[in-house]
Structure 1
């Protein structure tokens, strides 16, 4: 399995997007599509003592909205994450904008906290003392024909240099 298709960390969002594009091209040519969910990635934030173990535990595609249908969306994809504060500082952040879904065409979709029947979303702001954990869903709005390829997560509302990436199975 090519290294770029395994769950892991990627430094910098531009580098992450470029590596994903190369990995997707290799996957399309070779036909490999491993599932990276369930793997825990340890991520650092931009401040001292800011560290999380982040695990992608479930992907629901398509996800059904829990309320009225959102307008202008082809479909919803819900991703469940487990966050554990392994640092020495209090983690206080918004998980939804910290996550991005990338499709096979290289488009990037930012997470949202749209409720779905898949399960509860994260609170708008999650606060975790060192050793604390939280679980919740982050939802993405995608065009109906988009094919999810990977999910990324970074601390500091997605702006930290340390980016976790999980490959998704391709249809």
Structure 2
């Protein structure tokens, strides 16, 4: 119980510190929602499979109107040259804790979202990705993240630094009521303070 509380307080403190720092250096507020996915070629180009030579027109036409699981969104940060390709790779509902002493609160469950971040800009990306992620249900209720390790795989780091061309892959966990039906997940650079916020339908 005490460990659970300490972890939650640590997560809250980290988010507050990040918010204060970003407020001091910029005023981005998610003014633009980005939900048009990039062509599949962008996500698969570096897969090494040798199958990335299909006509671009075909791949572009296959892209859905609104991003969903598996799609990549191109996002910009607050500074020039700060850019990411962000992909929601997988989603696991009722995610299981890999720590026997840490579990969702009563009446709630965990939903794990695996994100891939690719630095497509010219500046080093340095942030706590979980601070910029949120989930909303079909009633419009929004939920933040919780620091947790799940059996689905390694968590996204809390202090990610990527040089141009660098990539990070990991799970971000959300705690939501058991009765909630997840509708969207969002991600923004600069701990969510960038003007562009990516949105995926679940």
TM over 0.5: yes
Structure 2 residue corresponding to 1:115, chosen from 149, 154, 157: 149
Partner in structure 2 of residue 38 of structure 1:
70
Partner in structure 1 of residue 93 of structure 2:
61
Query: Is residue 67–residue 73 contact of structure 2 (8 Å, CA) maintained in 1?
Result: no
Instruction: Please report the RMSD computed on the Cα atoms of aligned residues, expressed in angstroms.
Output: 1.9
Secondary structure in structure 2 of the residue aligned to 1:37? coil
Which consecutive residues of structure 2, in runs of 5 or more, have no partner in the other structure? 1-27, 34-65
User: Over alpha carbons, which structure has the higher Rg?
Assistant: 2
Which sits farther off after the overlay, 77-86 or 107-116? 107-116
Partner in structure 1 of residue 162 of structure 2:
128
Which consecutive residues of structure 1, in runs of 5 or more, have no partner in the other structure? 1-10, 17-33
TM-score by length of 1: 0.77
Secondary structure in structure 2 of the residue aligned to 1:122? coil
Q: Does 1:167 align with 2:167?
A: no
Structure-2 change in CA distance of 1:108 and 1:128 (3 Å): same
Query: Is residue 98–residue 111 contact of structure 1 (8 Å, CA) maintained in 2?
Result: no
Q: Which runs of 4+ in 1 moved over 3 A?
A: 11-16, 70-73
Q: CA deviation at 1:97?
A: 1.4
Which sits farther off after the overlay, 118-127 or 81-90? 118-127
Q: CA deviation at 1:35?
A: 7.7
Count of equivalent residues: 141
Query: Is residue 154–residue 160 contact of structure 1 (8 Å, CA) maintained in 2?
Result: yes
Instruction: Name the one with the larger strand percent.
Output: 1
Q: CA deviation at 1:114?
A: 1.1
